Structure formats: structure tokens, C-alpha cells
Amino acid sequence: MITSKDAPLEVDVFWSMRSPYCYISLDRILDMREKYDLKMNFRPVYPIAIRDTAFFTGISKYMGYRVPYQGIDTLRSAQFSNVPYAYPDPDPVIQEPDFGPVKPFKDQVLIQKLTRTAVAAAQTDKGWEYLNQVSRMMWNGTVRGWDQGTHLRDAIERAGIDADALIDEVMNKNPKKYDDLIEANQALQKKNLAGHTGVPLFTFNDEPFFGQDRIDQLVWRLKQFGLTERGE
């Protein structure tokens, strides 16, 4: 991954636009990018509900505690990190209540649009700017009906991206191109974590750090390999 001793250290960041834990980690990731001489590669992936539509059926007997616990834990984690938080309205994945059956991929226009525009933004080195605007707009509790009107378009524009051109490109002109890029990210994610599809996932030198609560350990490991602050 590192091409020379003078190149910055690199971390791959695998991210789902549906994951509350990804959103909760956003400010800390942006702070890392600003503070350290570090390259962080934004790699959007589809959420587990899209990648494995039988996932929630397979763990249905556990959902009685998983659903309420996640509600408690995400709110608590956001408060602990001083991050404004509310689950997006509507849910980016069309799924029956309490993580029931998932609609077919062809009907999942919301998560398609989000993940494809995210990976397209990453291709033009605007991925983190995209997240800083789009993810925050969806998750910080200030917008209801984020998919309605111009909410999404305006957030993309605030990231310095031509929103109309981007959405047309990924949804109408070349959707397969961007799904192929997403699939490449998913294949790399599974390779780095022996088939694990959890997010946020950070990998450095093929070592995985799974979860927003592993960021401090990631920084600790990077410092062992010479991570320095910018300007040092």
C-alpha cells in the first residue's frame, strides 16, 4: 500500500450510507485527515441488508434485543461523541419494520442513489466533502424527508459537486459502472476481514479495525509505523 518511505501512510475506510456508526465516526475521521499526514481512502459499500437480503431472517431470533439495543447504543454513542443524531427519515433501505424482509435490489432506489453518488464522489477525490455534507444532512436530525425536494441535491452541491450531473451519471447513464466500483470495494473489504461485512471498517497494512470505537487503536497502530502530524 505504501509506495515509498516518504509517502503518507494509507488507511482504507469502508463505509455504508445506512450505518449510524459510520455517521457517528465522521467527525473523528475528518479530524484525523486534517491533523495527520495520512491518506484515508473512502470506500463506499452497500449495507448488509442489500448485500445479503437473508441476513436479518437468519438472525431473526436475536432481533428482539438487537433492535432496541441498537436504538439505545447509537443514541448513547452519538451523545458520548457530542454528535447530533437521529435515524434518517426515510430509512435509506426499504425494509419491513424491525429489520424484516428487504425489498429486491431493483426497488432500492434510495440506497442505490446514495451509494453510487458516494463512490462517484470518491472517484473525483470529493468523497469526504460529500460525506461531510450528505451524511450530516441525513443523520443530524435537522431534515425530515431527506429524499424529497432538493435536500440531497443541495447537500451534494455544498460539497462542490454538480449534483444534477452526478445523479444523472450514476442513475441513468452508467449505473453499472458505479455498482462495479462498489462491488470492488466490497470484495476488498471481505478480503481484508475474512468475509466480514461490518462498517465502519478501517484497514491498515491488511490489519482490520472494525467499529467506530476502534479509531483510537487505529491511531495508536499508525503511530507505531511513524504517523506524524501535518507540518512536523
State the number of CA atoms in the 13 A half-sphere of 213 facing the CB.
6
pLDDT at 230: 86
pLDDT at 154: 98
Residue 101 lies in a domain: yes
pLDDT at 4: 42
Q: What is the CATH number of the domain that holds 48?
A: 3.40.30.10
Split into its structural domains, the chain has a count of 1
> What is the span of the domain harbouring residue 22?
9-224
pTM surpassing 0.85? yes
Residue 140 lies in a domain: yes
Residue 47 lies in a domain: yes
Residue 231 lies in a domain: no
Biggest CA-to-CA distance, the chain: 53
232 residues of the chain, pLDDT tens digit each: 444 456 789 999 999 999 999 999 999 999 999 999 999 999 999 998 898 777 666 555 565 666 778 889 999 999 999 999 999 999 999 987 767 778 889 999 999 999 999 999 999 999 999 999 999 999 999 999 999 999 999 999 999 999 999 999 999 999 999 999 999 999 999 886 656 678 999 999 989 999 899 999 999 999 999 999 987 6
Residue 105 lies in a domain: yes
Residue 175 lies in a domain: yes
pLDDT at 197: 73
Helix-helix angle 20-35:63-80, to 10 degrees: 30
pLDDT at 198: 84
Residue 229 lies in a domain: no
Q: Can you tell me the distance from the alpha carbon of 18 to that of 104, in angstroms, rounded to the nearest whole number?
A: 16
Helix-helix angle 175-192:109-123, to 10 degrees: 80
pLDDT at 218: 97
Q: Can you tell me the distance from the alpha carbon of 75 to that of 69, in angstroms, rounded to the nearest whole number?
A: 10
Residue 128 lies in a domain: yes
